[in-house]
Structure 1
Amino acid sequence: MPELLFGVLGALEVLVDGQPRNIPPGRRRAALTCLLVHAGQPVSADALIEAVWRDDLPQVPPKALRTILSRLRTVLGRDAIGRGPAGYRLTGAAVDAAEFEELVQRAKTAEPQLAGEVLGRALALWRGPAYGEYADAPFATAAAHRLEQMRRDAVETRAAALIRAGEPGAAAVVLEEMLAEQPFREHAVELLVTALYHGGRQAAALERLRSYRALLGAELGLDPSPDLVALEGRILGHALEPVRWDTSGVPAWLDTSTAFVGREDELADLVTAVAGNRVTVVTGPGGVGKSRLAAEALAGLHDRLGLTVAVIELAPVVPGRVTTTVADVLGLRPGTDSGTHSVLDDLVEYLSAVPHLLVLDNCEHVNGEVVPLVSVIAQRCRDVRVLVTSRRRLGLASELVLPLGPLRVPDPDTAVGSQGSAASVRLFGDRVRRLRPTFAVTADNIVEVAELCRRCDGLPLALELAASRTATSGVSGVLARLPTDVVKKSGGLSAVVAWSYQLLQPGQQALLDHLSVFAGDFSADAVVGLMAHVPGWSGDVDPVLAELIESSLVIHHETSSGSRYRLLEMVRAFAARRLEESGRRSEAGSAHGAWVRDVVAQIRHDWSRVDGAVVAARLTACSTEVESALRRALDAGELVLASEIAHAVARCLHWTPSLELRDLMIEVGERGAADPTPDVAAGIATAAFSIGERGDPARARALGTTALAVSQDADSAATAQLALAVAAMYAGDLADSGRWFRSLAAIPALTGEANASLALIACYSDELVAAREHAEIALAAGPSGSDASCAFARYAAGEVEARTDPSRGAALLGEASAEADRVDAEQVGRVSRIALFALLVRGGRHDDAIVLGVDLFAHLRRLGAWTQVWTLLRILAELLTERGRWADAAFCLGAAQGAVAAPSPIGQDVERYLVLEATLSERLGAHVLEQIRIMATATPRARVLTRAERALSELQGR
């Protein structure tokens, strides 16, 4: 097959084996362009016929299409255009648009100078409008628009990279060219002003800001964005210093209740380093106390920086999941509605708006992912601080490294009386006293204690392990059994762990080994549940666990939910290695999976029988173990077990899984769909449901249909039907969605859920009598459903009542959001508040709407819930129009209309927004309205949100 290369970033270009080929204008070029738009995906014959002939159809369209494609094959090669059940597709073709997107993606994690070079190569691929003469054809419009938006974003990103690389003059040139074309592209204005400032042209930077303010006000009636206003203030102050944010929150992380000995200087150095640098890395050997030092510094850093603290423990994170884990900890829940944005883009976007102090703990095994992530955050999130703990530095030019060494040990050549002041001796004495309060370091034992500290090389973890043995065996007993220079000569700290392990009884060793399968901390009940599935285990777990705690191999700490336990990472790694060497790793993994299955099955059973806040907290608390169990089951090919676990979680309706858990649940179903059988039908149905909620209805429908076809039990069939109903609703096919929900309404456990959804469908279709009937059934079904489902029923009833009785509707929506918050049904709370916001705006209760809107925008920003953001912006446009803020209203409406991921208005909203647009056109003039729309569409979505928040705040201030 010949080598094919196509150029679509301009007029169509075709190279066959490096030689240009002419595709004449007309039908063949249209057919080829349509195939290229779909980037190797199949295109149906009907879609190709529509693209080639539009309304001027030939007498026999399929035959005419085959002729066109045959002529194309003559030029491109016989096998260049393949055909399958789903349609025609190009095979083995390289396209410059794909190369452009790949280069843009590569630049995101590159250092500034390299990023500028890579983006320069990417932009050089452009020769004109994407898809040439077909840029405005219906089959190419969306793809051409997406590529053009990426091109403009790439110009700005390249300019930012040039500024960071010390080339502000070059950045100013490319930005001036862009602004000549699009004078209201505000991010480009901000970058240009920054480039002028860093190029030593402060007066020109300020003049550019002032001229833009005048142009924006005169032409569009808008004020500059908050970002530009803040930038002007920093330039006037002759320093582009970070802006501090008034936020709060230091998370509970490690237990810091024990004495923190011998690190006073290091602690002060760390606080100073993090305050003054974007990236600080604490390095040192395992067990030296890097994590504890960071934990001790958090309160001081929070007070000094005023930043919210987020701790991301990376020790249990598998390669490939670092960015997702950080997003999960921050509470981001981006879905496919993010459009071209990746999870990294969502993360950077959020941190740019809401800066944090990020603590990335135990990074050494995932340094390859941490390095580019931290590099991007440091470059693009100027107010964020990153604190890393790792056994080795990251290797970034911007990082400040603080090496942490062992605690000082007594010098054998100094006087005995002075040896007790060594930090290692003080730590050792404190830890022994916690277990044996009568212990003291005295003249009688100081020589032995000093020797023991030297043998432990001053490593805090080694000292703690030795202290636990000293509490029962005495210093002399421990010295007799602890090899000389065990740390230095016997394989490092792991040798101390091995020494402590060898002192355990066989049953204690076996339990410790099996505890290594827990992904996070655990309860005593969890240990009992795990060991119940281990073949050959018998006896009482409690006394064995108690001995492991006494030996400091298991750490105990108290939480609001009771006693919890965990393994230090070095102990976990040692125990896991022992499990592997003993051949029991598979057995332990299966036991863990079986225990997790029992736990989630019980939670599902309790979901509609126990208080919603309690069961939601239980599911959230075990979600890390669920992720671990699913990952192990997938690796081991245990799809049936994985399907059972995933399905139980999915049927805890309205609970929102983490990104990692959601992706794992989807992977379970995707794997099952490759060879669908009845015993994995539930897993396939679960994936369909999760994908539908994520916003990919076509794939959800395909998987839901597969699951329903192979289901042989009512439970998995019900989940498949639920997935199909949700997918149809997201696709806008209300009739099909209603058909599936009506079939689910006959299932007692789903009566409330189904009727609540049917009420919404009828409401959207203006069938208010039917909507009210379904809403009443859903509310009456409350006792048989979960508290989360009751909240959903109140939301649906509120939407229905709002159509005829706004006061009653507002009350129901308020009840729904309050109950959703109580039981952690986050999505129900979100949509209830959006509906309430709309009701308050349209009912003239503007002051109440403004207060709610301020909180809503902040909440949606944190979640990355852009589908709801666009809906909220439309409603805000209504409010701003009512308050006479015509230009601001036009900006919000234009941004929502231009967003690819924005849901289309349905029902009464279609007419409502046509009228709103006409009103704005009358007030501003059609030309100004169009210019504002273009500006809003070109504005990065995070900055759109910032403008909206400012507009609300200004209304609130008035």
Structure 2
Amino acid sequence: MQFGVLGSLEVRSAAGEEIPVGGPRPRALLVMLLLNAGRVVGVTELIDGQYGDDPPAGAANALQAQVSRLRRNLPAGVVEFHGAGYRLAVDPGDVDVHRFERLAREGRRLLVEGHHEAAAGTLREALGLWRGPALADLPPGSFRREREARLEELRLAAAEDLVEAELALPEGTSVAELRRLADAHPLRERLRGQLMRALHAAGRQAEALEVFEETRRTLAEELGADPSPELAAVHLAVLRAAEPAPPRRRLAAQLTSFVGRERELERIGALRDSRLVTITGPGGTGKTRLAIEAAGRDRREACFVDLTSAADDDQVPRAVLGALGLRETGFQSLRTADPADRLVAALADRESLLVLDNCEHVIAGTAALARGLLAECPGLRVLATSREPLGITGETLVPLAPLPTPPPDLPPRDAAAYPAVRLFADRAAAVRPGFEVGPDNAAAVVRICAALDGLPLAIELAAARLRSFTAEEIAGRLAEHGRFRLLSRGDRTAAARHRTLRAVVEWSWDLLTPEERALARRLAVFTGGASLEAVEEVCGVDDAAGLLADLVDRSLVEADGDRYRMLNTILLFCAEKLAESGEEERLRAAHARHFLGLAERAAPHLLRAGQLRWLERLSAEHGNLMAALRWAVRGDRGTAMRLVAALAIYWWLSGRRAQAGEAAAELLDAAGGPPEGLEEEYVVCVAHAVPRAPAGHWERAGEIMRSLDRPTRHPFTVALWGMFAGPPSGPIGPEAERLLGSDPWNRALGRLSRGLLAMFGGEIARGEREFAEALTGFRDLGERWGTAQALDGLALIAGLRGEWARARETWGEALRLMEELGALEESADLLAHRAEALVRQGDPAAAVADYRRAGELARKAGWPDAPAEVHLGLGRIAWYRGDLAEARRLFGAALRAAEHGPFAAGTRTRALTALGRLAEAEGDPAGARLRHRRALAAARRTPLTSDLAAAAEGWAGAVLLEHGGDPATTAAGPATAEPASAPRRASRRATPTTSR
């Protein structure tokens, strides 16, 4: 039989003859049962649908009478009674509304995968099932309205998908039909955007632009809202005569089809107004995959954050920073900014979706971060996956139960429609082409799905076994193990996983050969995967490549290019086996040795032309490098110190130096002092541990640097120490020259440092020569960071001389090099330098643009506010323009931004001096004297004489003004008393030094 409710009720026999149903009440009853074909519908729900909120007395008896009349008109056994309600025993595929929903979902999937012609055909078939208004035979009321609204929304979404598919086809879509549909639904922005694209494709650009203006006015009048970013992008694309590009998304492409969670996906889509949605359920139920699919359909820019590697609650914000691509800062401050504050700064003004995956082992940290971000970032939406709720007010839960499994006696055709069986069949067909669920294997497949409790991951692992076994053999092995029972609650800690999944992994483990088991458990020593080279060296097994291929075939290992990794559940199981084997410490030591070797091989290349390639390689192994360091801190302190020294340049260039701080401090605490032969490595540890280094270590490191009478083994040690200890108070002495040695990068660094000190001391010509020689040295090596620093010095000098074209060209090259490294903060420094020169050139508008761009880069790097130099520069420009109130605000912001750091004293000096001069201009001699006194105190802590001179001159002017003098220059502007022979800003770049 065939049934239709997408229009007036229609019932036809197998021969196509129409079957009369009866009067309005039996027809309405049949429609309600058809909407739930194959499922029991409660008596209460049927009465509500028939009579609404105020049913008459005897409604239950009336319902029974209607059922009786319905049974007389339908074949025997079609309407069943099940105690609490009635069930229509028909295949949902025989009801047009269910066929429509299935075809609409299939059409959407084909559209997403890029099969536009197939998608268009499927969607036309779905929409062709509609004969008129749906559910026309239901009586008016809330029951009908709710279901009509849902079906109408699905119909419109399918129509939009059809238009999207047709727009991608050569013949395009009907503009007239699309305009009719868009006019009928003027607030559906997707339809309006599609109409604009269709008009543009037809050469009717003016009409397309008019559609946008109409939509903009309608949205403003009806909703008080602006067009969405997607519609605005279509508008811009029409203006530019180009097809709009899809929004950028940070979501991994999936390699398998999405099966079995269509209802949950629709529910998440309907929760578009909920800012925090948490998908909950046991391990292995497919929470991650559902979250990725849902994020792919969200209009916001999406970022996926895997929290599996977060060891504790404190690491959650850093994991999110890494996923967003926000590098840790290098020069701004010794005290790293709060990662949560950096995230707020980065996300506050963005419409974005954050997917926080695998939260259960860091539930408290995830909840705290989510609550803070949602409170501070109004455009943010969070989609989390966890075994339990985050427990935040306003959280909406989407519980994810195991996939429904069919009863054992169900016919094969009916069993194949169940989600668990569909998933098994889909994954099985990938490993055994042509596999289908039929009469010969349906019973075995049903037993497999039931034994695995419908858990998607377990089903996928079982389906992979079809490479070696039949479905009947797999079902038999599962029955023999008899341990697959779902627990209602699991442990929150990272090592606890669902026992059903453990049983699946254990079963897979039992199928391995002894050689495969040895490699599988040893792979657990790696974090974030490993290359074949690393596996061969660390695991110490013969034919590692062949064994890895076998483990990939058995779904215990995933291959991603030239790297191999395990699913987390399997990794934890293998880690237990490694601990039981008694060889874990030996493997940890081999792991640390291997990655120490990699770090030491990479370090010289990071100061040469190949630094980008080696940075990428080390970044791919970042998890392993940090795991090796954490183990070595407790297990082999000598290896730990060597790792810190070898990785110093990598951490600096990639913005990750703060991640080593805790390990370095713990290492120093355990070591007590420098191990013999590792004095230089000890100094690097001290530099990374600042300001957490235990007492006494800083002084001891300084003594070591002063006593060294040979070149350092690690070229970056000199630069690192200079950046933390600050520039020397005098010329670079012979002891520093000895430290530099003959390494070409260090020699170029020495020239750069001498150039800086010469420039600060007013010897501009000498500084220019040193910068030029440093530039030649860095360029000969092909190293970008040093080259950009030398170019910056030359640009500063060109600006001092008024050679504006040369300065702009030089800074432009330096900025391009820093952009190649992704060095946002250093780029901000260069822009601030260029802005100062533009002020002197007489172009304050261009200077403001550079200062603001520098502030944007700093905030993009995750800093809550712009650097102090940006505030100082903008404050001076505000003063020049006569806005003293704005200048005071900006100078105050600069003072707050300069609270910490090795060069903070110089910045504080300049900020306080500016505030003092401003107080003089405003007629506040007492306030001016106070600020100049504080500036002078700060200047005594900086070795730069230009800072001390400016502070002393400001103090003298304040004293003169207080005693009735007329120091006209003190109130004329913010910088009139500063020396013209050197730039106002103290550089944060490296200068070799042997003293603090």
TM-score (norm 2): 0.61
| Equivalent pair of 1:798/1:810 in contact (CA under 8 Å) | yes
| Equivalent pair of 1:817/1:832 in contact (CA under 8 Å) | yes
Q: Give the AA of the match of 1:860.
A: A
**Aligned equivalent of 1:550:** 553
| Equivalent pair of 2:638/2:675 in contact (CA under 8 Å) | no
Query: Displacement, 1:634?
Result: 1.7
Q: Give the AA of the match of 1:538.
A: V
Helix, strand or coil: the match of 1:539?
coil
| Equivalent pair of 1:307/1:356 in contact (CA under 8 Å) | yes
- Cα distance in 2 between the residues matched to 1:820 and 1:697: 34
Helix, strand or coil: the match of 2:383?
strand
Query: Displacement, 1:469?
Result: 0.7
After the TM superposition, which residues 273-422 of structure 1 pair with which residues of structure 2 at under 5 Å, given as runs?
273=271, 275-301=272-298, 303=299, 306-307=300-301, 309-318=303-312, 320-330=314-324, 331=326, 333=328, 337=333, 342-354=338-350, 356-422=352-418
> 4+ residue runs of structure 1 moved beyond 6 angstroms?
236-241, 243-249, 338-341, 694-700, 709-713, 736-740, 902-913, 927-930
Helix, strand or coil: the match of 1:532?
helix
Query: Displacement, 1:822?
Result: 1.2
| Equivalent pair of 2:353/2:382 in contact (CA under 8 Å) | yes
Q: Give the AA of the match of 2:555.
A: S
Are 2:547 and 1:539 equivalent residues in the alignment? no
**Aligned equivalent of 1:705:** 702
Distance 1:333 1:738, change over 3 A: farther
| Equivalent pair of 2:521/2:574 in contact (CA under 8 Å) | yes
| Equivalent pair of 1:357/1:385 in contact (CA under 8 Å) | yes
- Cα distance in 2 between the residues matched to 1:264 and 1:927: 73
Q: Give the AA of the match of 1:546.
A: A
Query: Displacement, 1:844?
Result: 3.0
436, 440, 464: which one aligns with 1:440:
436
Distance 1:810 1:689, change over 3 A: farther
Superimposed CA distance per residue, residues 208-228 of structure 1 (whole angstroms, 9 cap, x where no aligned partner): xxxxxxxxxxxxxxxxxxxxx
TM-score (norm 1): 0.64
**Aligned equivalent of 2:631:** 632
| Equivalent pair of 1:801/1:808 in contact (CA under 8 Å) | yes
Larger radius of gyration: 2
| Equivalent pair of 1:309/1:358 in contact (CA under 8 Å) | yes
Q: Give the AA of the match of 1:313.
A: L
**Aligned equivalent of 1:271:** 269
Q: Give the AA of the match of 2:554.
A: S
- Cα distance in 1 between the residues matched to 2:370 and 2:732: 44
Superimposed CA distance per residue, residues 59-99 of structure 1 (whole angstroms, 9 cap, x where no aligned partner): xxxxxxxxxxxxxxxxxxxxxxxxxxxxxxxxxxxxxxxxx
| Equivalent pair of 1:325/1:660 in contact (CA under 8 Å) | no
- Cα distance in 1 between the residues matched to 2:340 and 2:734: 39
Distance 1:264 1:921, change over 3 A: farther
**Aligned equivalent of 2:730:** 735
Superimposed CA distance per residue, residues 425-458 of structure 1 (whole angstroms, 9 cap, x where no aligned partner): 1111211222222322233222222221222211
Helix, strand or coil: the match of 1:444?
coil
Distance 1:261 1:487, change over 3 A: same
| Equivalent pair of 2:529/2:565 in contact (CA under 8 Å) | yes
Q: Give the AA of the match of 2:765.
A: V
| Equivalent pair of 1:409/1:424 in contact (CA under 8 Å) | yes
742, 750, 754: which one aligns with 1:747:
742
- Cα distance in 2 between the residues matched to 1:366 and 1:299: 25
- Cα distance in 2 between the residues matched to 1:366 and 1:884: 53
**Aligned equivalent of 1:516:** 524
Superimposed CA distance per residue, residues 796-836 of structure 1 (whole angstroms, 9 cap, x where no aligned partner): 33233332233322222211121122134455433222222
- Cα distance in 2 between the residues matched to 1:710 and 1:810: 43
- Comparing 764-773 with 309-318, greater Cα deviation is found at 309-318
Helix, strand or coil: the match of 2:653?
coil
Distance 1:706 1:718, change over 3 A: farther
- Comparing 404-413 with 656-665, greater Cα deviation is found at 656-665
| Equivalent pair of 1:654/1:825 in contact (CA under 8 Å) | no
| Equivalent pair of 1:608/1:786 in contact (CA under 8 Å) | yes
458, 462, 465: which one aligns with 2:458:
462
After the TM superposition, which residues 181-220 of structure 1 pair with which residues of structure 2 at under 5 Å, given as runs?
none
Superimposed CA distance per residue, residues 645-704 of structure 1 (whole angstroms, 9 cap, x where no aligned partner): 211111448513426633245336524652321344343222333356x89999885353
Q: Give the AA of the match of 1:292.
A: R
Query: Displacement, 1:886?
Result: 4.6
- Comparing 444-453 with 569-578, greater Cα deviation is found at 444-453
Distance 1:746 1:383, change over 3 A: same
| Equivalent pair of 1:654/1:827 in contact (CA under 8 Å) | no
Superimposed CA distance per residue, residues 694-749 of structure 1 (whole angstroms, 9 cap, x where no aligned partner): 899998853532554797974358655444422332xx654377787545444323
Distance 1:773 1:734, change over 3 A: farther
Are 2:797 and 1:800 equivalent residues in the alignment? yes
Distance 1:339 1:489, change over 3 A: closer
| Equivalent pair of 2:756/2:767 in contact (CA under 8 Å) | yes
Q: How many residues align?
A: 677
| Equivalent pair of 2:828/2:855 in contact (CA under 8 Å) | no
Distance 1:695 1:372, change over 3 A: closer
Q: Give the AA of the match of 1:401.
A: L
Q: Give the AA of the match of 1:474.
A: T
Helix, strand or coil: the match of 1:533?
helix
Long gaps (5+) in structure 1: 1-235, 934-958
Query: Displacement, 1:643?
Result: 1.4
Q: Give the AA of the match of 1:790.
A: T
| Equivalent pair of 2:327/2:654 in contact (CA under 8 Å) | no
836, 850, 866: which one aligns with 1:838:
836
- Cα distance in 2 between the residues matched to 1:578 and 1:704: 43
Distance 1:685 1:902, change over 3 A: closer
**Aligned equivalent of 1:597:** 596
Superimposed CA distance per residue, residues 200-259 of structure 1 (whole angstroms, 9 cap, x where no aligned partner): xxxxxxxxxxxxxxxxxxxxxxxxxxxxxxxxxxxx999999x99999976545552310
Q: Give the AA of the match of 1:715.
A: T
After the TM superposition, which residues 654-693 of structure 1 pair with which residues of structure 2 at under 5 Å, given as runs?
654-658=652-656, 661-664=659-662, 666-667=664-665, 670-671=668-669, 674-690=672-688
Are 2:481 and 1:478 equivalent residues in the alignment? no
- Cα distance in 2 between the residues matched to 1:708 and 1:530: 39
Superimposed CA distance per residue, residues 517-559 of structure 1 (whole angstroms, 9 cap, x where no aligned partner): 222133xxx233233134xx332222211111111111234xx
Query: Displacement, 1:260?
Result: 0.5
Distance 1:315 1:776, change over 3 A: closer
| Equivalent pair of 1:753/1:792 in contact (CA under 8 Å) | no
Distance 1:689 1:867, change over 3 A: farther
- Cα distance in 2 between the residues matched to 1:766 and 1:834: 21
Distance 1:848 1:619, change over 3 A: farther
| Equivalent pair of 1:520/1:625 in contact (CA under 8 Å) | yes
Helix, strand or coil: the match of 1:359?
strand
Distance 1:441 1:308, change over 3 A: closer
Superimposed CA distance per residue, residues 99-138 of structure 1 (whole angstroms, 9 cap, x where no aligned partner): xxxxxxxxxxxxxxxxxxxxxxxxxxxxxxxxxxxxxxxx
Long gaps (5+) in structure 2: 1-220, 234-245, 488-498, 932-996
- Cα distance in 2 between the residues matched to 1:487 and 1:352: 46
**Aligned equivalent of 2:580:** 581
- Cα distance in 2 between the residues matched to 1:867 and 1:765: 31
After the TM superposition, which residues 223-234 of structure 1 pair with which residues of structure 2 at under 5 Å, given as runs?
none
**Aligned equivalent of 1:487:** 484
Taking only the aligned residue pairs, the percentage that are identical comes to 26
| Equivalent pair of 1:684/1:707 in contact (CA under 8 Å) | no
Helix, strand or coil: the match of 2:468?
helix
- Cα distance in 1 between the residues matched to 2:225 and 2:670: 54
| Equivalent pair of 1:312/1:360 in contact (CA under 8 Å) | yes
Q: Give the AA of the match of 1:362.
A: N
Helix, strand or coil: the match of 1:438?
coil
- Comparing 307-316 with 583-592, greater Cα deviation is found at 307-316
Distance 1:831 1:609, change over 3 A: same
